[in-house]
A and B are shown apart, each in its own frame.
Chain A
Amino acid sequence: MDNTIHTLQDFMLHTESNTYILMGVYLVCMVGFWKFLTQKDEEQD
């Protein structure tokens, strides 16, 4: 089957879907990273 993307619409559907996954992963990582970043501050306080 021909897998080439021929329309801007299909291309954006492909990239946007990936972007949404990326955003979800990022937000979870952000929480973890913030914890890592500030963990020792809180221990000292």
Chain B
Amino acid sequence: MSEQKNSPAQGMTAAALGFMRDDNEKFSPLALLTGVILLVGTILTILRFTQGLGAVTNLTDTHPWGMWIGFDLMCGVALAAGGYTTSAACYLFGMKKYHSAVRPAILTAFLGYAMVVVSLLYDVGRPDRLILAYPFVVQQGTTSLLFEVGLCVLLYLTVLFLEFTPIPLEWLGFRKARNIAVKLTLTLTILGVVLSTLHQSSLGALFLIAPSKLHPLWYSPYLAVFFFVSSIAAGLSMVIFEGSLSHKTLHHRMGRAYLEEHPPLILGYAKAASLVLFGYFMVKVVGITAGDNWHLLPTPYGVWFLIELLGFVALPCFMFAMGSRNKDPGLIKFSAVLTVIGIVLNRLNISMIAFNWHLPLDERYIPSWMEIALSIYMVTCLILVFRFIVTRMPVFDEHPDFKEHHE
């Protein structure tokens, strides 16, 4: 396979991707940046676990959830939705031509959820009790939607792990174990979709308890539906976005099936994402009208709400449609990025920006640089592990010994 040269313009994500390249012996500025992130992250980790939450975060009693919940958990889970959307499309809805996309999507989802859990260990006050699964083992708060989210995330992480196991098993050459794992595909896929539906929506439902704190334009009895529907759009967009990112840096690792199926997959996903965003736009508008909150639109928060709704839902919906009509991969990738930003914006709005909107500005939460640095650290680690796995294991290509599986 031909070697690829990293161009400096590829951005930070690609930079981190490039860092772990097996053929990369040189000391590049990108590697330096990654190294700095890892070093700072490690120092802050020590600080967090020896000095407490107060030492690294700007969390207060009125803002008990900050960056690590708003970004790491809320966005991490939403953006890992590519796993269940892709495996459902391929194994349940009969889109067999998407087969080669399942593995990268499952791997991303697995690592994404793993990152979420690690972030939660940073965020909760007693990580030891989270590891010991207190909510499930010691005492169950079944009336809490967080109980449901926790249970589903735990189970789904297990499901994703089992869905992911054929990859290392093929790599290691454990044929028997691998075949058993493959046999579970249907059950795991259905269970995965059920669990995803539940916790994606329940993440939104977490905020149902606080109508007096969340801005009425974002608060809605339909919050659970909003979160579920938007997670589908997020998952589809992430597969497109991440696929094109990987294309740049990992082309040499991609098998024929992946390379052949990727362009039609992008078109299909763009069409699906466009349709989902169309429906999502409608349910968001229903949210406004059900709460009769039209009069709030000409306020600063209303304008911000409209920017989110028009700029990051309606616009990518239309652009996805144009892209899939004209078979324009460039436009599709741009729309995917826009959708991803839109979902991140939505989650941050609900958990941080439009939350506690009634408080004066000086009582509001702004994340400390250390919280942001640790979030970047998490994402960097995720990319490095992803990179490590795909350059070694059969993710983007088929293992020569196990080809018979793919029909």
Q: Check whether chain A touches chain B (CB < 8 angstroms).
A: yes
**Residues of A bordering B, CB below 8 Å:** 9, 12-13, 16-17, 19-20, 27, 31
Q: Chain B residue with minimal CB distance to A21?
A: B142
* CB atoms of B187 and A16 under 8 A apart: no
* CB atoms of B191 and A16 under 8 A apart: no
Q: Chain A residue with minimal CB distance to B194?
A: A27
* CB atoms of A13 and B143 under 8 A apart: yes
Neighbouring A residues of B191 by C-beta, 8 Å: 27
Q: By the criterion of a CB under 8 Å from any partner CB, how many residues of chain B are at the interface?
A: 8
Number of A-B residue pairs at CB separation under 8 A? 17
Q: Does B140 contact A (CB under 8 A)?
A: yes
Neighbouring A residues of B140 by C-beta, 8 Å: 17, 20
Partner of A12 from the list B143, B151, B187, B194 (CB cut-off 8 Å) is B143
CB<8 Å pairs between A and B, sample of 17: A9-B143, A12-B142, A12-B143, A13-B141, A13-B142, A13-B143, A16-B142, A16-B143, A17-B140, A17-B142, A19-B142, A20-B140, A20-B142, A20-B151, A27-B191, A27-B194, A31-B187
Neighbouring B residues of A27 by C-beta, 8 Å: 191, 194
**Residues of B bordering A, CB below 8 Å:** 140-143, 151, 187, 191, 194
Neighbouring A residues of B151 by C-beta, 8 Å: 20
Complex CA gap A15/B9 in Å reads 57
B62 → chain A, closest Cβ, in Å? 24
Complex CA gap A25/B142 in Å reads 16
Complex CA gap A25/B61 in Å reads 40
Complex CA gap A17/B151 in Å reads 13
Neighbouring A residues of B142 by C-beta, 8 Å: 12-13, 16-17, 19-20
